[in-house]
């Protein structure tokens, strides 16, 4: 193991030995990081390691209980996020923080709207500036639209546009690519590199090792709230980093188990929703894992939501084991044995004020209540069991979910649906935000479910996950199914080709 190699240049921002406790929970015990001008620095660690807490200290959201904090080598104290922003630090959080009722342009320029003649806010300047930013970023987002209803990917891009427009000296991003796929990630990387080349210091958190190694100049590892080491990216291996993160050797992907594939359980025929997707037909059979691949915005999440009855559809039908499913009725879907693990888990998957146990068994409780079987002890036992299986890190399962780290919240949503024992499970990005140690466990659980005859439809933007787990891969592009690829024929190139049609020729 290399020893920590901290910088020789003067870092633009540095924190040494910072601590932060919330009541009895010590989120940070030795928060140490140095961000140099002109570098891209990756921060890695398991779910609950204290990464987001460290970032919130840098951002002035949390005052550290102790520690040495410096800007350009001089001691500094940030009492509020405004202090940190004034010092040229822009932070993009794990959960986007846009105002849903404002337009995209208003969100970007909030608090500093360009003024025209007579001191009035110039909407046209705002629109022109926002359009310029999106052109730089290469994304077609309408600056005049209301932020509500935007995908996570688009919200993230808007936050980045805002940071760029602020001309930040330090850009900090908490899992910026979690909601993005291939092309969007590449675009973001391009932007990050050009900011670095202009001298900005960039810190980003990621659970994806390909991008940690592809993008960063240096990597800092945290474990259990403490600094472990900072490495020059070129002189360290993935295995070494993983060992420092978890303290042992592990594999990122669980090898797929073969399951007996039976009759179709979920049958989707000619499903369409004007302007969103059309002519979607496929089956998922008992014991089968069908991967649904495609770029962000291809309509995969929308299809899953329509099947589950959250959104309406205008054409087509859904059947579960040959029985037509009432459209636009999630309760009917649950009664018919469907489960959906949503993409935007914070908003759709959890009740933040309720405890971990309560959340984990919420869906189950609905079912239990219906059959008059509710038992507090049983609920508690199930909550505990699933929290343990998914390694949910919390001081107590009775604490509100709001106090959990991002990745641990994701695990609770997964637990909630896995505990219901559905016939058909729709999972949208099952391992997004989940650390490398638990990822293999999630894959094992999904594989187990298929092994027990459950039909699984898995939306994933991570190609290795789709290629590793799926018996069959459906690919969507711009609201249509463009390919069905059997496991034996599946390659990353084929999937990408069907998702983008930008490659020169079909491999």
Report the interface residues with Mg ion, using CB under 5 A: 52, 405-406
Residues 6+ apart with CB under 8 A from 445: 389, 390, 414, 418
Find the binding residues for ligand ATP in span 374-403 (CB under 6 A): 393-394, 403
With respect to Mg ion, which residue has the nearer C-beta, 204 or 282?
204
Spatial distance between the Cα atoms of 287 and 260, rounded to a whole number of angstroms: 6
Does position 52 bind ligand ATP by CB under 6 A? yes
Q: DSSP letter at 420?
A: T
Nearest distance from C-beta of residue 20 to ligand ATP, angstroms:
8
CB 85, min distance to Mg ion, A = 20
Should residue 50 be labelled a site residue for ligand ATP when binding is judged by CB under 6 A? yes
For 22, residues 6+ apart whose C-beta sits below 8 A from its C-beta are: 403
Q: How far, in Å, CA of 105 to CA of 165, rounded?
A: 11
Give the residue nearest to ligand ATP (CB).
407
Q: Which stretch binds ligand ATP (CB under 6 A): 41-49, 85-93, 298-306, 496-504?
A: 41-49
Nearer to ligand ATP, 53 or 278 (CB): 53
Both tokens of residue 313? 């559809």
Question: Nearest distance from residue 251's CB to Mg ion, in Å?
Answer: 23
Cβ nearer to ligand ATP, comparing 404 with 415: 404
Classify residue 427 as exposed, middle or buried by CB count within 10 Å of its CB (0-12, 13-18, 19+). buried
27 binds ligand ATP (CB under 6 A): yes
Tokens describing residue 23: 């009541």
Shortest Cβ 129–Mg ion spacing (Å)? 31
Interatomic CA distance for residues 26 and 354, integer angstroms: 21
Q: Does 406 bind ligand ATP (CB under 6 A)?
A: yes
Q: How far is the CB of 247 from ligand ATP (least distance, A)?
A: 15
Secondary structure (3-state) at 83: helix
As measured in angstroms, the least distance from the Cβ of 69 to ligand ATP is 17
Q: Check binding of 51 to ligand ATP (CB under 6 A).
A: yes
Angle made by CA atoms 247, 248, 249, in degrees to the nearest 5 = 145
How many chain residues touch ligand ATP (CB under 6 A)? 20
Q: Name which position in 176, 299, 407, 430 contacts ligand ATP (CB under 6 A).
A: 407
- Among 11, 48, 287, 342, contact with ligand ATP (rule: CB under 6 A): 48
Among Mg ion, ligand ATP, none, partner that 361 touches (CB below 5 to 8 angstroms by kind): none
Residue 284 is inside which H or E element, if any? strand 277-285
Q: How far is CA 68 from CA 44, 50, 173, 237, in A?
A: 21, 17, 22, 30
Q: What is the largest CA-CA distance in the chain?
A: 73
Residue choice 155, 156, 361, 408 for contact with ligand ATP (CB under 6 A)? 408
Under the binding rule (CB under 6 A), the answer on residue 25 touching ligand ATP is yes
Which residue reads 């069908």 in tokens? 290
* Distance, CA of 411 to CA of 391 (rounded, Å): 8
Binding site residues, ligand ATP, CB under 6 A: 22, 25, 27, 45, 47-53, 393-394, 403-408, 435
């Amino acid at each position: 193991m290399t020893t920590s190699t901290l910088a020789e240049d003067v870092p633009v921002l540095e924190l040494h030995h910072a601590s932060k406790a919330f009541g009895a929970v010590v989120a940070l015990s030795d928060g140490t990081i140095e961000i140099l001008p002109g570098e891209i620095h990756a921060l890695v660690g398991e779910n609950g390691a204290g990464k987001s807490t460290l970032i919130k200290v840098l951002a002035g959201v949390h005052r550290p209980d102790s520690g040495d904090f410096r800007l350009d080598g001089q001691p500094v104290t940030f009492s509020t996020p405004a202090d940190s922003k004034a010092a040229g630090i822009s932070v993009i959080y794990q959960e986007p923080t846009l105002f849903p009722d404002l337009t995209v342009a208003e969100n970007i320029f909030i608090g500093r709207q360009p003024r025209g003649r007579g001191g009035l806010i110039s909407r046209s300047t705002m629109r022109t500036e926002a359009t310029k930013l999106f052109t730089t970023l290469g994304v077609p987002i309408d600056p005049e639209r209301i932020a509500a209803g935007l995908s996570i990917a688009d919200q993230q891009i808007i936050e980045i546009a805002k940071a760029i427009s602020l001309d930040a000296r330090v850009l900090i991003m908490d899992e910026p690519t979690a909601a993005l796929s291939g092309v969007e990630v590449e675009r973001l990387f391009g932007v990050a590199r050009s900011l670095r080349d202009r001298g900005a210091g960039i810190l980003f958190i990621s659970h994806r090792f390909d991008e940690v190694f592809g993008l960063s100049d240096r990597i800092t590892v945290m474990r259990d709230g403490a600094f472990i080491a900072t490495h020059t990216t070129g002189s360290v291996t993935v295995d070494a980093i993983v060992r420092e993160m978890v303290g042992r050797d592990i594999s990122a992907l669980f090898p797929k188990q073969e399951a007996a594939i039976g009759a179709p359980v979920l049958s989707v025929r000619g499903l369409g929703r004007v302007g969103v997707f059309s002519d979607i037909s496929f089956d998922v059979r008992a014991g089968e894992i069908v991967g649904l691949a495609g770029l962000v915005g291809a309509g995969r999440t929308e299809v899953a939501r329509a099947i589950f009855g959250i959104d309406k559809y205008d054409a087509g039908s859904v059947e579960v084991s040959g029985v037509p499913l009432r459209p636009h009725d999630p309760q009917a879907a649950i009664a018919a044995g469907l489960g959906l693990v949503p993409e935007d888990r914070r908003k759709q998957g959890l009740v933040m004020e309720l405890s971990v146990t309560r959340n984990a068994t919420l869906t189950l409780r609905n079912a239990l209540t219906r059959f008059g079987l509710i038992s507090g002890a049983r609920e508690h036992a199930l909550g505990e069991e699933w929290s343990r299986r998914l390694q949910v890190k919390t001081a107590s399962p009775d604490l509100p979910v709001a106090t959990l780290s991002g990745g641990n919240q994701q695990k609770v949503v997964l637990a909630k649906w896995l505990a219901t024992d559905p016939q058909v499970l729709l999972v949208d990005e099952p391992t997004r935000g989940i650390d490398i140690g638990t990822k293999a466990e999630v894959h094992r659980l999904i594989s187990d479910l298929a092994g027990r005859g459950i039909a699984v439809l898995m939306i994933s933007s991570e190609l290795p996950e789709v290629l590793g787990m799926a018996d069959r891969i459906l690919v969507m592009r711009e609201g249509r199914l463009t390919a069905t690829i059997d496991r034996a024929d599946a390659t990353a190139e084929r999937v990408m080709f069907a998702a983008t049609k930008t490659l020169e020729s079909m491999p």
